[in-house]
Amino acid sequence: MIRRKLSLAAAVVTATALTLTACSGGEAPAADSSKITIMAPFLEAQPPSADGAVQQKLEELTGKDVSITWTPNASYEDKMNITLASSEIPQVMVVQGKSPGFVKNAEAGAFWDLTDKLDEYPNLKTTFPEVEKNASVNGKVYGVFRARNPIRSAVMFRQDWLDKLGLKAPETTEDLYKVAKAFTEQDPDGNGQNDTWGITVPKFGALGTNSPYDMIETWYGAGNRWTERDGKLIPSFETEEFLEANRFVKKMVDEKLINPDFATFDGTKWNEPFFNGKGGIIVDVDSRVSVLISLFKQANPNDFQNKVGFVGGLKGPDGELHTHPTDGYSGFLAVPKTSVRTEAELKNVLQFLDKMNSKDVAALLNNGIEGINFTVQDGKAAAIKPETPEGKAVATDIKSYAQLGTNVTGNNFYPVKQASDYEQEVFDKRVEVMAEDLKSAVYNPAAAFVSPTYVAKGAQLDNIVADARIKYLAGQTDEQGLKDAIKLWKTSGGDKVQDEINKLWQDSK
Amino acid sequence: MTTSTVDVKAPEQAPPPAPAPGRRRRFAVHFAHYKWLYLLLLPGVLYFAVFRYAPMYGVSIAFKDYVPFLGVNASPWVGFQHFQDFFANPDFGRLLGNTLILAFLNLGIAFPLTIVLALLLNEVRLSILKRTVQTLVYIPHFLSWTIVASLSFLLFALDFGPLFLFINSVLGTDIDFLSDPAWFRPLIVLQEIWKNTGWGTIIFLAALATVDQDQYEAAIIDGAGRFRRVWHITLPGIRSTIIVMLILAIGQMLNTGFEQIYLMTNALNREVADVFDTYVYFVGITQGAYSYSTAVGLFKSLVGIVLIFGTNALAKRFNQSGLF
């Protein structure tokens, strides 16, 4: 079955690649330095058009004939692996993370090692060396990372409910419990019925996906994926704080402060209970604040303020603030050796990537085209209203083109001017809160390390614990069952992973 | 059905066994004689050669440590390493168990139901009613599993799905069908029945049409009721069809349906939901362990072959015409 799927997918990819080369005249892409081929994911419903305004402007600014294979985000990892197995490999590939597939290919020599090469290029010499290290495979840099705000975790709540019940915004995990309980039991929507709950949690599978569970565990002091205890790195689920955090979440599940279908609830509908007044709290990345506000704004442009409140990380039971950062990057742009064969060709590609991170191209990828979809006001990009069809096309396209932005030297583009004063105020507060939380960030000390055993079977191993966590919360197993699963993780190969990670950690010191 | 088997075999049996001398010439004569039949055979042979046999070359990665970048040929050989890993894996027993249980449930419940439905339809005398019902039961076959799964999620949704509310109020329970491991298999079988039973009746209805009508008249004169007629005439009449369909079904048995199961799986029911097909996807495609998952897929195919030959041999032993 897998063969059939693979060969089918390979045929599709090859066919697409063939069409692409056919468009560019059928020449081998590597031979011509004026052509750059890229494979990138798109997260919108449609990929941007190949002759849109953004594409033309991009080619004009970089002076290259750029052809991008847009691939649906949901199946990107599959397609990437299949593309690597094909003969039509792009010169630049967006790699979404250090997946086992990527690491295997990289270690077999599929990608250029850029460790000592990036510093020559002013826009690629990163100002966040720590993040570059996180994005490396045991110190080897295989791509230009795509920088992301390290602090993104936030607690969002219905401000109107909070005000109605006379509560204040949570500061500690205990406050979160109190607010969730009040939202569940004190009829915050005032309809006289017991039809609300506190926190909405959707179906979250794996460990380390910045899920609400992961965040609460970090707030409790369990660390972030890995944590240093007695001079050794251990997975955070082996800490006592992990169990405490899950007891806390389980208490909320048992008291029905969390939606009962948390194990199956569809994540794409996460906003709905919040917006419809069913569940009043969401624990997720802070960018959801803007999404929620625009939902309320769409429904009622005259009354959308003070519906959504938010705070950053919460203090744990120890009274300390341990905030939950990401690794600071979201994948990287790697250069395959099959399509870029010589140092000279690599130089050409890196020059292109350097250009891609220059101020004018970064603004194009992230803000759009000045005068068409935005104007600069007080150093901020303000959307042109009313939106013209051209402006709309550009605004839609850049949502995909932003995937090519690396911003390894910080954000070179204009910050977006929010649509109203209220939204600007909330946005500024977000920036402020996240900057404050950055000071207490608990980083994953093993982010840079890739253990061979983990590559071989890490995802299956982690599933043991991730599933047990959900089962424990749902009451299908007790705490002993959760502990047994952690033990099973260790005996099924986790111990080996731990040894390898610790060795890499010691070697890197 | 038996007659058609004979038809297919006829050209092979017709030429006399060729003695060693002049064998080539005889084959030429034979070939010239049947050239149109061979021409008819050609597209089928080409199809199997190109789309079924050629890709089998890729199966070799089950014995290699395949890295896409290196390609099939350059990846190093590792022998039976992946098979050993798989059999030693704690997941193995669970996967095998889940796959077999689901397979037998589908075979034991969905397969006989198809025959029952075909018999019921066959007994409907009112032509317009029969056609309407037939069309209605065929329709679900054309819906994708994604839609079937979405429908199930709506119908069984916790606290507001109509079936969730109905069944729980009748039974006086509080079962979350979508996450309760005990309800995973019933749901899967139910979906399978809803989607494919109607479609499966087509072949049986065709077979039922071939049953000799005179026998029914004779039976009626002898005073046989409807059930006796079904038992003694209809069922024996389509016995060979049933056997052939059963052998085919058994060959497909381990293909428990990737999409269906993948869509219905969540953290709470994964224990019973993981089958070979989803495991191959999970390990192979999402983790890039192509060799390992190919080995798993190959193992599954081997089990399928054993089952097909086993059933065929059994069918022959019980004096039925087998599939081959």
pLDDT exceeds cutoff 50 at A17 = no
Higher pLDDT, A6 or B62: B62
Rounded to the nearest angstrom, the minimum Cα separation between A67 and chain B is 22
pLDDT exceeds cutoff 90 at A141 = yes
DSSP A36: E
Rounded to the nearest angstrom, the minimum Cα separation between B136 and chain A is 31
Rounded to the nearest angstrom, the minimum Cα separation between B29 and chain A is 40
- Extract the tokens encoding A461: 């191993």
Cα A234 to its chain centre, rounded Å, is 24
pLDDT exceeds cutoff 80 at A223 = yes
The backbone region for A210, taken as left when phi is positive above 0, alpha when psi lies in -120 to 50, beta otherwise, is left
Rounded to the nearest angstrom, the minimum Cα separation between A6 and chain B is 9
Phi/psi at B319 (5° precision): 65, 30
**Mean pLDDT score across all residues of chain A:** 90
pLDDT score at B319:
66
| Segment among A74-88, A285-299, B74-88 with least mean pLDDT | A74-88
pLDDT exceeds cutoff 50 at A353 = yes
Tell me, yes or no, if B182 comes closer than 8 A to chain A by beta carbon: no
Tell me, yes or no, if B272 comes closer than 8 A to chain A by beta carbon: no
DSSP A449: -
Tell me, yes or no, if B294 comes closer than 8 A to chain A by beta carbon: yes
Q: How far is CA A466 from CA A9, A449, A508, B287, B314, in A?
A: 30, 21, 29, 16, 45
Comparing C-alpha atoms, which of A287, A286, A307 is closest to residue A296?
A307
Q: Are the beta carbons of A345 and A354 closer than 8 angstroms?
A: no
b/e string for A54-73 if b means 16 or more Cβ within 10 A? bbebbeebbebebbbbbbee
Which of A151-160, B22-31, B57-66 has the highest average model confidence (pLDDT)? A151-160
What gap in Å lies between CA A444 and CA A144, rounded to an integer? 20
Average pLDDT score over residue span A71-82? 85
What gap in Å lies between CA A171 and CA A174, rounded to an integer? 8
A interface with B, Cβ–Cβ below 8 Å: 1-7, 77-78, 81-82, 84-85, 99-102, 104-105, 108-110, 203, 205, 260-261, 263-264, 266, 336, 338, 456-457, 459-460, 463, 466-467, 470-471, 474, 476, 488, 492
pLDDT exceeds cutoff 50 at A1 = no
Tell me, yes or no, if B268 comes closer than 8 A to chain A by beta carbon: yes
Higher pLDDT, B18 or A52: A52
Q: Is B68 in Cβ contact with A110 (below 8 Å)? A: yes
Rounded to the nearest angstrom, the minimum Cα separation between B254 and chain A is 11
Per-residue pLDDT band at B240 (split at 50, 70, 90): confident
In terms of Cβ atoms closer than 10 Å to its own Cβ (0-12, 13-18, 19+), residue B274 is: buried
CB atoms within 10 A of CB A163: 13
Kindly state the percentage of chain B with pLDDT values over 90: 38
H or E stretch including A383?
strand A380-383
Query: What residues in A contact B175, CB-CB < 8 Å?
Result: none
Average pLDDT score over residue span A146-171? 94
pLDDT score at B270:
87
pLDDT score at A485:
95
- Extract the tokens encoding A239: 């800490």
- Extract the tokens encoding A476: 């299908």
Q: Is B268 in Cβ contact with A84 (below 8 Å)? A: no
Question: What's the N-to-C CA distance of chain B in angstroms?
Answer: 13
- Strands annotated E in A14-123: 35-42, 65-72, 92-95
Q: Are the beta carbons of B255 and B278 closer than 8 angstroms?
A: no
Q: Is B59 in Cβ contact with A7 (below 8 Å)? A: no
Average pLDDT score over residue span A381-399? 91
pLDDT score at B142:
95
CB atoms within 10 A of CB B41: 12
Q: List pLDDT tens digits, range B92-118.
A: 899 999 999 999 999 999 999 999 999
Cα within 13 Å of Cα(A369), Cβ side: 18
Comparing C-alpha atoms, which of A318, A149, A114, A238 is closest to residue A495?
A238
Q: Does this complex have an ipTM over 0.90? A: no
What gap in Å lies between CA B34 and CA B103, rounded to an integer? 42
pLDDT exceeds cutoff 60 at A13 = no
Average pLDDT score over residue span B140-152? 94
What gap in Å lies between CA A57 and CA A368, rounded to an integer? 10
**Residue type at B142 in one-letter notation:** F
pLDDT exceeds cutoff 90 at A347 = yes
What gap in Å lies between CA B211 and CA B214, rounded to an integer? 9
Query: What residues in B contact A2, CB-CB < 8 Å?
Result: 280-281, 284-285, 290, 293-294, 297
Higher pLDDT, A15 or A397: A397
Nearest chain B residue to A471, by CA: B268
The backbone region for B217, taken as left when phi is positive above 0, alpha when psi lies in -120 to 50, beta otherwise, is alpha
Query: For chain B, how big is the Rg over CA atoms in Å?
Result: 25
The SS3 assignment for B119 reads helix
What gap in Å lies between CA B120 and CA B122, rounded to an integer? 5
Strand order across the A65-72 sheet: A65-72, A35-42, A92-95, A329-334, A143-147
- Extract the tokens encoding A480: 């002993």
- Extract the tokens encoding A26: 């059928």
Per-residue pLDDT band at B125 (split at 50, 70, 90): confident
pLDDT exceeds cutoff 60 at B11 = no
Q: Which residues sit opposite A321 in a β-bridge? A: A315
pLDDT exceeds cutoff 50 at A24 = no
Q: Which residues sit opposite A35 in a β-bridge? A: A65
Kindly state the percentage of chain A with pLDDT values over 70: 94
Strand order across the A153-158 sheet: A197-199, A279-285, A153-158, A308-311
The SS3 assignment for A38 reads strand
pLDDT score at B4:
42
Q: Who contacts A402 (Cβ-Cβ below 8 Å, separation ≥6)?
A: A365, A366
Q: List pLDDT tens digits, range B163-212.
A: 999 999 998 888 889 888 999 999 999 999 999 999 999 999 999 998 88
What gap in Å lies between CA A426 and CA A418, rounded to an integer? 9
DSSP A95: E
pLDDT score at A201:
95
What gap in Å lies between CA A183 and CA B39, rounded to an integer? 76
**Mean pLDDT score across all residues of chain B:** 86
Cα within 13 Å of Cα(B103), Cβ side: 23
- Extract the tokens encoding A71: 């691939």
DSSP string spanning A101-145? HHHHHHHTT-B---TTTGGGSTTTS-S-HHHHHHHSBTTB--EEE
pLDDT exceeds cutoff 70 at A10 = no
- Extract the tokens encoding B41: 């055979």
Average pLDDT score over residue span A186-212? 90
Q: List pLDDT tens digits, range A461-506.
A: 888 999 999 999 999 999 999 999 999 999 989 999 999 999 999 9
Comparing C-alpha atoms, which of B191, B189, B202 is closest to residue B135?
B202
Comparing C-alpha atoms, which of B219, B243, B238 is closest to residue B322?
B243
Per-residue pLDDT band at B312 (split at 50, 70, 90): confident
Cα four-point dihedral sign B102, B103, B107, B108: negative
Per-residue pLDDT band at A14 (split at 50, 70, 90): very low
Rounded to the nearest angstrom, the minimum Cα separation between B315 and chain A is 28
pLDDT exceeds cutoff 90 at B85 = no
Higher pLDDT, A415 or A11: A415
Q: Is the pTM of this model over 0.95?
A: no
pLDDT score at B226:
87
Query: What residues in A contact B181, CB-CB < 8 Å?
Result: 476
Cα A233 to its chain centre, rounded Å, is 24
Comparing C-alpha atoms, which of A7, A98, A112 is closest to residue A339?
A112
Q: List pLDDT tens digits, range A177-187.
A: 999 999 999 99
**Residue type at B293 in one-letter notation:** S
What gap in Å lies between CA B139 and CA B135, rounded to an integer? 6
pLDDT score at A8:
43
pLDDT exceeds cutoff 60 at A373 = yes
